[in-house]
Amino acid sequence: MPKYLIEATYTAEGLSGLMKDAASGRRQSIAASIEGLGGKLDSLYLALGERDMIGVVDLPDSVSAAAFALTVSASGLARTKTTALLTIEEADRAIQKDVTYHPPGKVG
């Protein structure tokens, strides 16, 4: 199942909700949402810096990842950034693919 890195930044109101629910409450809610999409929460961390929460999830496909991200962002309490992750084996298969490509301004 594909893995995705999901980074979230809370609004002030979202942070107030986090304080009310506690981090463990948010983990439980997020895990339930991901499981409802047919996936699994792999890991979840609160972070110091530009992002407030970072998680790695397994989801069936990009449509499911987009559905989660859109739903979270539509709440108005957090913004998300989702990145598809590749395993080392998937990266090796990508490296081995023969791709015909001509960079801009270069005639092939």
Whole-number average pLDDT of the chain: 96
105: which DSSP letter?
T
Other beta carbons within 10 Å of 61: 13
pTM of the predicted model, to two decimals?
A: 0.89
Which pLDDT value is given to residue 108? Answer: 61
At residue 27, does pLDDT exceed 90?
Answer: yes
The arithmetic mean of pLDDT across residues 10-29, rounded, is 96
Which pLDDT value is given to residue 106? Answer: 81
Distance CA 51, CA 48 (A): 7
